[in-house]
Amino acid sequence: MPADRVWMARPGAPERSGPMRYRSLAVVASLTLFIAPSARAEFPFPADANRCDSSGNPPGCIPLPNEMSGCNGEMWKYASTSVCTTDPAVLSSPNELFGVSGMSVEIAWRLETGRPDVVIAVLDSGIKWNDGGALNDLRKKFYLNRGELPVPQCAPPGPPGPDPYDCNGDGVLNAPDYDHDPRVSDRNGNGVIDPEDLILTFSDGVDNDGNGYVDDIAGWDFFENDNDPFDEVQFGHGTGEARDSTAEANNGGSLGTCPNCMVMPVRVGDSFVAEVNRFAEGVVFAVDTGAAVIQEALGTLNNSAFGQEAVDYAYRHSVPVMASAADEDSWHHNYPSNYVHTIVVNSIRDFGLQAVEPQSWLFIDGCTNFGGNISVSVSSTSCSSEATGRSSGIMGLLVSAGRDAVAAHTLVSPLTANELRQVIEQTADDLDFENQRAITFPDTIRYASEAGTDQFTGHGRINAHAAVARILAGKIPPEAEIRSPVWFQPLDPMRDGNLSVVGRVAAQRASGYTYRVQIGYGVNPLESEWVDVVPFGAPRTAPLDGVLATITPAEIPQPTPGQIARRQAEVADPSSKDYDQFTYTLRVQVLDQPGRQLGEDRRTIFIHDDPDLKPRYPLQLGADGGSSPAIADLDGDGIGDIVFGTSNGVVYAKHADGSNLRGWPVATDPLAIVSGSAAYASKAIPTPIRAAVLASVAIGDIDGDGLLDVVAADVEGKVYAWDYRGKRKPGFPVRVNLLYSSHAVRDPANTVDRLIIGSPVLAALGGDRGLDIIVGAADRHVYGWNGQGVARPGFPVLVVDASRMASVDATTHKVTPKPGALRGSKIIDSPAVGDIDGDGHLDIVVGTNEEYDEPPNFSLASGTAAALANSGLLSPANSRVYAIHEDGNNHAGGPFLAGWPVRIGLIERELLPVVGEGINASPALADVDGNGTLEIGVFPDAGPAYLLKADGTSFYGSDSSGNYLVMATEGYPASNSPDTPSFPAVGEGAFGALTAPGALAFAAPAAGLGRSLAIVLPEEQVNADDHTSAWETLTGKYLPAYPHHIEELQFLTGPSIAHVGATPLPQVVEGSAGYYLHAFDANGVEPTGWPKFTGGWHVANPAIGDVDGDGKNEVVVLTREGNLFVWDTAAAAGREEWPKKRHDLRNTGNYQEPPGQTSNRSRLHR
C-alpha cells in the first residue's frame, strides 16, 4: 500500500463537498457534514408487522424512521398512502394511483428490511471517507472482507457469540467492531474509525483470501488499481449512490431503501462518466467477492465485449445489475444499461412547482431517458442516478426476501437474476396517461405512457411491498430470456433472411410450462397487435436454451395506418414523429403449469431495408464505434480502405466488402487484469482483454520511408504505430507520463487521468524525417513524439492558465489554483495543427476542460440570448483554448503564443463531468478571409461559437466592455426550428464551402434553449430542439436555413462536409444520438434516399470517400452499439471539404491541408 494513501484525508484537513449528481442548468447542493454518529441509530433495523405506514396507521404502530418527516423526499418517495397529496383531482384519479405518492417502501419494511449478508456493490466514483454526513449514514453499512482482516481485539471483550469478529454483538462485521482495537487509529483524520482506517492499518501486501485482489478489505479501486476506493477528487456521486440504497435508518441523515443491506464501494471512475472496461472489471470483482446486487448509475464513454461479458457473468451468478437509463430526456442508448441482462430504471417525480396542475407524483423526470428497454420507473428527484440507487436498495430487499423464503422452506433455492427481474416488473404499479397528457405549464405535455408496458415508464412504478410479499409467498414467475437479437439491433430480413430468436425459457419452480414467441410493430404494441410466431404449445418440463423461434420475412407484420398514427401521436414534436418508424418488438412469454404465473422478456429491434447499403452491412463488431473511421489506401491497390479502432482494443483495416486487409486487424496491449480472480482463472471471462481505442486513427508517413503508417491511442495513455501491413513500428507504443495522473496528484483541482480520447495528429514539427505525433491527454498535457517513438524536445507541455494558478509542482505538475477555479482538468479534444500566424512555423491549438468563475467572455448582441445570460438563471463561466509553439517548452518566452490562452465563455458551468466541461469541441482551422493566416473556430461544451484570429482576438471584434463578439445565437426566421436561442453543444465543428467555392461556412452541433430546459423540467417540452448549425464565417450570421432541426443530441461528434448527393455543392453530413445520419445542403435539403437510418447513437463522425473503386463516394459510419455501415452515393469522388473527423488523414483539423481521403503513395508492395 503506497504510503501517500495515509495522508489523503489528513487530520485537521478541511472536508470538501462535491456534486452528488450533475444536472444541466441546475444548482447542485453540497452534502451536509456530520462527524459523530447519532445515538438514535438503529442497525440492524428490524422488520415489524406493526410498523406505521406513511399516514401513521394503524393506531399504536411503531413510528417510521426519523428521516421520514412531513412530506420530505424519503416520505413521499417511500409512501404507500396519499398523505402527501393535496390535489383533489389526483386523489380521485385511478391513473394517478389515487394520489399514492411513492413506492410502498415503508410497508415493505413491515415484511423485510434487508439482510447484512446481502451486499450491494456500488460501481461509481468511490467513497468520500472524509464526508462526515456520509459516514454517519454508512459507517456501519460498509462491507468488510474478513478474509483480509485479523480478528478485532475487543476492548472491553465483546458479548459471547459464535463470531469472534462481532465485537459489539450486532450480528454484523463492520467498522465499529474495531472501534476499541488498540492497533487501529483514526489514520485519515475524519473523527471515526472507518474502513479506510482498516485499509491503511492492515494492508500487508499479501492476498490472504487468495482471490487475486491483494488486501481487498472494503471494495476496490479500478480507476487507480489499488485497494482503497477513496473519492479523492471529491466528486461525491458514488457516496450519494451508496446512501440512496443502503443508508442506515433512524440516525437523522439519509435513509436507504434497504437499511439492513451492506454496501461495497467499487470505484470505476472519478465521476459517473467512466471507461467501460473499468466498469466490467468492477462487475467481475463484485460477483467474485460475493455481492448480491450490482448498482451502476453510470454513463460509460464506450461499449466493449468485455462489458457485456461481465454483465452476463453477473447474470449467470444470479446477481442482478441495476442500471441507469441516463439523464438527457432522450431515447439514445446509454451504456452500460444497453447491455442485455441489465435491469434499466428511469425516474418519475413531482413537477416541483405548486402552480402546475395536476399536482402529480408521476411526472417523468426531465433528466432521465426512455426507450423499449426500460424495466420500471422509480420515485426520485435526482435523475436516473437516484432512481438507480433507490431501486438497487429495493432489489436488495427482494434478494433478502428470497433468502428468507429459502430459510423458511417456502422456496427451495435463491432467486435467479431473471426471476428477480420478473418479480419487480410484474408487481409494478402501471402508469397510463395516454389520454390525460395535459399539464398547466407552458409548452409542456405528458409523455404518452400507456396501459401495460410502455417505453416511458416500463412496467410502471416500483411497488416494493407487492414485490417483497410475492417473494415471501413463494409466487415466483417462470423465466423468459432473450439473448439474441440484442437491444436495438438493426435487421434486414429481406437481405439477411430468417431471424433467429435465441434465449432460454424455464419454469423450475413449477411442474411444467409452455411458451410463445411474438412480434409486433412499434415500441409498445397493443395486446391485440401481437403476432404469434411460435404459439403456446404442449407443456414442457426441462428448460429450453437455444433457438426459441425462427422468424421468416413473411411473418413480420406490416404496420397499419392506425399503428403509424398512434406511434406518431406519442411524440409532441412533429419534426421527430418518425424517429422510431422502423421499430419492432419481440416478446417471449412463458406460462407455468397449471397456468398461474407468466414470465416475459422483450426486445426492441429495427427492421429496415436500404438499397444504398452495401452488401454484408451493417457489420456487427462486438464493440463500439467511438473511433471515427478514416479512408486510406493502405494496400496500394488504388482503392480506399476503411480504418478504425474499437473498445475491444482492435484496430481494423477493411475492404469495401467487409473483409480484412492482409495483416489486419491489429490490437493494443492487454489490460493488467487480476488474473487470479475466479472469473478469469476459470476462463468464464475470456482473456486477454485489451485497452480500448476511442480516439480516431491518424494515417501518414511517420518515419520518412515513403509508406503509410497507422497511429492510434488507447484509454490507458498509450500511443501505437503500425505500418501498412499491420506490423508494429519499432519504438511503440509510447505512453503518457503516469506521474502526472498519479494518486498523489489527484484532488478536486486536479481531476486528471491517463486516458487519451482526442485523436492523435501527425505533423512535421521539424528536425526529423517523417511526421511527428501530437496528442492531448486527460492529464492536461500535450505530448509530442517523433516517428521512432522518441519524445519531441520541449514536450510534453502542461496546458493550464498560469495566471489562475497559485503554484505548480515542478515534478508532478500538480496545480494549486487561485480561488475561482472549477473542477475541469482534462484535455479530451483533439489538437489542431497549422501555421496560424504565418511565421513559417507550425502551431498547436487545443482546448481544455478548465472552467473558471469569471464573467463570460462573449457579447450576445441579440436580445433573448443576452437577457438569458444576464438573468441569473444560469451559472456562466469561462474555459480556455491555447495556441502552442511547435517547439513547446523550449520556445523562448514559454510554450504559448502571445495573446493565448483565450477565454471561451460558457452559458452553464459543469454541465457534465469529463465530456461536458470546458472545451470538448476540437478546434478547427481555416483561412476564412484569404489573408494567409488561419482563423480558429471553437466553442465550449455549451456556449457560443467563436472565430479567433492568430493573435487570440475575435475575428468579429469586441464590444465596448472588451467582450468578444461571437457567431449568432438567434435570429433565424427561415429555420425549421422554433427553439431559440441556439448554442453549440458537446460536439465539434468543421469548415466547408456550402454556398459557393471559397465561401467558407462553419458547421457545428447545437441545441436550443428549450432543449436545455427539457433536461431540467419534467415531461415533454413541445419546442425543445437539437440543431445542426451553420454560419457564414465572414459575418458570423447563420446561413438562411440554419440552425436546422435534428432529432437528438450530438454528443462528442460533429459534421463532415462532402458530396453525398447529385448536386454541385456539398452537404453537412452529421449523425445524432437518435438513430439517423443526415446530409443537409446550404438550404437544409437532403438528397434523395437521405437521411440514413442506423438505429444507433453516432459518436463517430462519418467518413466520405471512394472505398470500392467505382469513382463515386461512399459514406462510412460507426455507431456506439458496434455497427459499421457503408452506403453508396451518386456523388462523384474527388477533393472534399471536410470529409472525415479532423478533416484529413493526419487529423490536423486544418481546412488548408489536403483532405487526402484515398490519396496514397503509388502502389505499395504488399
Asked if residue 2 has pLDDT above 60, the reply is no
Q: Is the separation of the CB atoms in 335 and 303 below 8 Å? A: yes
Report how far residue 827's alpha carbon sits from residue 603's, in angstroms, rounded to the nearest whole number.
38
Q: With bands split at pLDDT 50, 70 and 90, how would you rate the model's confidence at 8?
A: very low
pLDDT of residue 14: 27
Helix (H) or strand (E) holding 566: helix 561-569
pLDDT of residue 37: 32
What is the chain's mean pLDDT, rounded? 94
Instruction: Identify whether 490 is part of a domain.
Output: yes
Report how far residue 826's alpha carbon sits from residue 848's, in angstroms, rounded to the nearest whole number.
6
Report how far residue 906's alpha carbon sits from residue 869's, in angstroms, rounded to the nearest whole number.
10
C-alpha to C-alpha distances, 703 to 629, 735, 766, 1125, 1147, nearest whole angstrom: 23, 18, 13, 33, 17
pLDDT of residue 43: 86
pLDDT of residue 18: 35
C-alpha to C-alpha distances, 1094 to 2, 607, 947, nearest whole angstrom: 48, 10, 33
Q: Is the separation of the CB atoms in 91 and 83 below 8 Å? A: no
pLDDT in tens, 730-778: 999 999 999 999 999 999 999 999 999 999 999 999 877 899 999 999 9
974-1012 burial, b at 16+ Cβ within 10 Å, e below that, comes to ebebebbbbbbbbbbbbbbbbbeeeebbbbbbbbbbbbb
Q: With bands split at pLDDT 50, 70 and 90, how would you rate the model's confidence at 1161?
A: low
Report how far residue 400's alpha carbon sits from residue 261's, in angstroms, rounded to the nearest whole number.
8
542: its cell numbers: 426441462
H-type alpha helices, 861-937: 863-869
Instruction: Identify whether 531 is part of a domain.
Output: yes
Residues 6+ apart with CB under 8 A from 712: 627, 645, 651, 668, 693, 695, 697, 698, 719, 720, 760
Amino acid sitting at position 830: S
Q: With bands split at pLDDT 50, 70 and 90, how would you rate the model's confidence at 1159?
A: very low
pLDDT in tens, 744-757: 999 999 999 999 99
Query: From the CB of residue 290, how many other CB atoms can be counted at a distance below 10 Å?
Result: 16
pLDDT of residue 689: 98
Half-sphere exposure of 1102 (CA within 13 A, CB side): 30
Beta bridge partners of 376: 345
C-alpha to C-alpha distances, 692 to 28, 59, 357, 380, 671, nearest whole angstrom: 32, 60, 48, 34, 9
Q: Is the separation of the CB atoms in 11 and 130 below 8 Å? A: no
pLDDT of residue 866: 66
Q: Is the separation of the CB atoms in 1121 and 303 below 8 Å? A: yes
Signed CA dihedral, 237, 242, 244, 247: sign only: negative
Q: With bands split at pLDDT 50, 70 and 90, how would you rate the model's confidence at 12?
A: very low
Q: Is the separation of the CB atoms in 70 and 56 below 8 Å? A: no
Q: Is the separation of the CB atoms in 580 and 567 below 8 Å? A: yes
How many residues appear in the chain? 1166
Question: Sheet harboring 531-534: ordered strands across?
Answer: 489-491, 598-607, 583-592, 513-521, 531-534
Q: Is the separation of the CB atoms in 836 and 952 below 8 Å? A: no
Q: Is the separation of the CB atoms in 346 and 43 below 8 Å? A: no
Max intra-chain CA distance, the chain: 90
DSSP codes of every residue in 668-692: -PBP---TTSHHHHTTSS-S--B--
pLDDT of residue 547: 99
Residue 553's CATH number:
2.60.40.10
pLDDT of residue 20: 34
Q: With bands split at pLDDT 50, 70 and 90, how would you rate the model's confidence at 573?
A: confident
Return left, alpha or beta for 1144; rule: phi > 0 is left, psi -120 to 50 is alpha, else beta: beta
Residue whose cell numbers read 485497452: 691
pLDDT in tens, 284-333: 999 999 999 999 999 999 999 999 999 999 999 999 999 999 999 999 99
235: its cell numbers: 466528486
Instruction: Identify whether 496 is part of a domain.
Output: yes
Instruction: Give the residue-averaged pLDDT of 1068-1072.
Output: 98
Report how far residue 948's alpha carbon sits from residue 670's, in angstroms, rounded to the nearest whole number.
42
Q: Quote the strand ranges of 724-831, DSSP E.
A: 734-735, 761-763, 772-776, 781-785, 797-798, 805-808, 815-817
Q: Which of 201 and 573 is assigned the larger pLDDT?
A: 201
Q: Which domain holds residue 559?
A: 483-609
Q: Is the separation of the CB atoms in 715 and 648 below 8 Å? A: no
What percent of the chain shows pLDDT beyond 90? Answer: 90
pLDDT in tens, 785-802: 999 999 999 999 999 999
Instruction: Identify whether 202 is part of a domain.
Output: no
Report how far residue 858's alpha carbon sits from residue 935's, in angstroms, rounded to the nearest whole number.
17
Report how far residue 1058's alpha carbon sits from residue 1075's, in angstroms, rounded to the nearest whole number.
20
Asked if residue 861 has pLDDT above 80, the reply is no
DSSP codes of every residue in 1094-1161: -SS---SPPEEE-SSSSSEEEEEEE-TTSEEEEEEEEEEP---SB-STTSSTT---BTTS---SS--S
Signed CA dihedral, 54, 55, 59, 64: sign only: positive
pLDDT of residue 577: 87
Instruction: Identify whether 147 is part of a domain.
Output: no
pLDDT in tens, 335-382: 999 999 999 999 999 999 999 999 999 999 999 999 999 999 999 999
Asked if residue 27 has pLDDT above 70, the reply is no
Report how far residue 442's alpha carbon sits from residue 1026's, in angstroms, rounded to the nearest whole number.
19
Instruction: Look up residue 63 and give its DSSP letter.
Output: P
Question: Sheet harboring 650-654: ordered strands across?
Answer: 630-632, 641-645, 650-654, 666-667
Instruction: Give the residue-averaged pLDDT of 244-253.
Output: 96
Query: From the CB of residue 318, how many other CB atoms can be counted at a distance below 10 Å?
Result: 18
Q: With bands split at pLDDT 50, 70 and 90, how would you rate the model's confidence at 256?
A: very high
Instruction: Identify whether 581 is part of a domain.
Output: yes
Asked if residue 181 has pLDDT above 60, the reply is yes
Beta bridge partners of 509: none
How many distinct structural domains can be found in the chain? 1
The CA-CA-CA angle for residues 654, 657, 663, to 5°, reads 30
Q: With bands split at pLDDT 50, 70 and 90, how would you rate the model's confidence at 833?
A: very high
Instruction: Identify whether 573 is part of a domain.
Output: yes
Dihedral over alpha carbons 80, 399, 136, 278 (to 10 degrees): -120
pLDDT of residue 4: 29
Q: Which of 36 and 484 is assigned the larger pLDDT?
A: 484
Q: With bands split at pLDDT 50, 70 and 90, how would you rate the model's confidence at 1162?
A: very low
pLDDT in tens, 119-128: 999 999 999 9
Instruction: Look up residue 1045 and give its DSSP letter.
Output: E
Name the nearest CA neighbour of 453 among 296, 598, 294, 574. 598
pLDDT of residue 874: 83
pLDDT of residue 873: 73
The interaxial angle of helices 305-316 and 276-289, nearest 10 deg, is: 20
pLDDT in tens, 692-728: 999 999 999 999 999 999 999 999 999 999 999 999 9
Q: With bands split at pLDDT 50, 70 and 90, how would you rate the model's confidence at 1066?
A: very high
Amino acid sitting at position 640: G
Instruction: Identify whether 517 is part of a domain.
Output: yes
Amino acid sitting at position 577: K
Lowest mean pLDDT among 17-21, 617-621, 1030-1034: 17-21
Q: With bands split at pLDDT 50, 70 and 90, how would you rate the model's confidence at 25?
A: very low
Residues 6+ apart with CB under 8 A from 385: 20, 21, 237, 240, 241, 272, 297, 324, 327
pTM attached to this predicted model:
0.95
pLDDT of residue 11: 27
The radius of gyration computed from the CA coordinates of the chain, to the nearest angstrom, equals 29
Asked if residue 870 has pLDDT above 80, the reply is no
Report how far residue 1118's alpha carbon sits from residue 1125's, in angstroms, rounded to the nearest whole number.
6
C-alpha to C-alpha distances, 596 to 402, 405, 500, 1092, nearest whole angstrom: 19, 19, 29, 46
Report how far residue 535's alpha carbon sits from residue 556's, in angstroms, rounded to the nearest whole number.
15
